[in-house]
Chain A
Amino acid sequence: DVKVTQSSRYLVKRTGEKVFLECVQDMDHENMFWYRQDPGLGLRLIYFSYDVKMKEKGDIPEGYSVSREKKERFSLILESASTNQTSMYLCASSLSGGGNTIYFGEGSWLTVV
């Protein structure tokens, strides 16, 4: 089975802190994604990566950056956390190609106080 592991399930950070959310997948997938989930808004794509060191902005990239130095690892960075970034963050991965399934991690609940 595909496993996407998000290292932190629950985090509480202070406004202005730099926050790292880490994600690792074990299936040699080319694509990795970071989504944000908020009630009533569904899932919104923050960034995705289709190869090592490659990234593309999604629908809501403002206030976020990403890093993909190794194929299996995709990090989401909040340079200066703000309270409006309190949310559930979901990492996902897939093989390249339109018909391939995207597999999700368990999510990271981030609260910024």
Chain B
Amino acid sequence: AQSVAQPEDQVNVAEGNPLTVKCTYSVSGNPYLFWYVQYPNRGLQFLLKYITGDNLVKGSYGFEAEFNKSQTSFHLKKPSALVSDSALYFCAVRERPGYSTLTFGKGTMLLVSP
């Protein structure tokens, strides 16, 4: 079975500082990995995904994530945080080709202070 862990319920960072939101996964085969962001009272917006190839994936709004197979991690990063990045972030995994559903982590609230 596939699973995702987001070990931090909340991450606090000052504006202008780099941010990292952590994600680890468990699958029996090769993973497809996704990050989504949710603003208050809104649906989830797609940020980026890892399918294959380069371990560093670049996405929307200046976010990037690094796939690390040995550590089974897919941490979300941004070099310089903005107050507007404050939101709930979800990591998700899909285990195998053709298997359509995503399994989500519990989410990490990112708070960026001015």
Which interface class (under 10, 10 to 19, 20 to 34, 35 or more) fits A?
20 to 34
- The interface-forming segment of A13-21, A60-68, A70-78, A94-102 is A94-102
Contacts of B70 in A (CB 8 A): none
Contacts of A109 in B (CB 8 A): 41
Main secondary structure of the interface of B (DSSP, over half): loop
Q: B49 near A105 (CB under 8 angstroms)?
A: no
- Among A35, A102, A106, A107, max chain B CB count under 10 A is at A102
A107 to chain B, nearest CB (A): 5
Q: B32 near A40 (CB under 8 angstroms)?
A: no
A48 to B94, CA, bound (A): 14
Contacts of A107 in B (CB 8 A): 41-43
- The interface-forming segment of B11-19, B71-79, B97-105 is B97-105
Contact of B90 among A42, A58, A94 (CB under 8 A): A42
Contacts of A33 in B (CB 8 A): 101
Which interface class (under 10, 10 to 19, 20 to 34, 35 or more) fits B?
20 to 34
Task: Check A11 for interface membership: any CB of B closer than 8 A.
Answer: no
Interface residues of A in 75-113 (CB under 8 A from B): 90, 92, 94, 96-99, 101-107, 109
Q: A97 near B97 (CB under 8 angstroms)?
A: yes
Contacts of B96 in A (CB 8 A): 98
Contacts of B100 in A (CB 8 A): 31, 48, 50, 94, 96-98
B64-98, CB under 8 A of A: which get 1 and which 0?
00000000000000000000000000100010111
Contacts of A104 in B (CB 8 A): 36, 43-45
A5 to chain B, nearest CB (A): 10
Task: Check B63 for interface membership: any CB of A closer than 8 A.
Answer: no
Contact of A98 among B41, B46, B99, B104 (CB under 8 A): B99
Q: A97-B98, A98-B99 are in contact. List 10 more A-B contacts (CB 8 A).
A: A4-B43, A31-B100, A42-B105, A42-B107, A58-B101, A98-B98, A101-B49, A102-B34, A106-B42, A107-B43
> Ordered nearest first, which 4 A-B pairs have the shortest CB separation?
A42-B106, A104-B43, A43-B104, A99-B51
B residues whose Cβ falls under 8 Å from a Cβ of A: 32, 34, 36, 41-46, 49, 51, 90, 94, 96-107
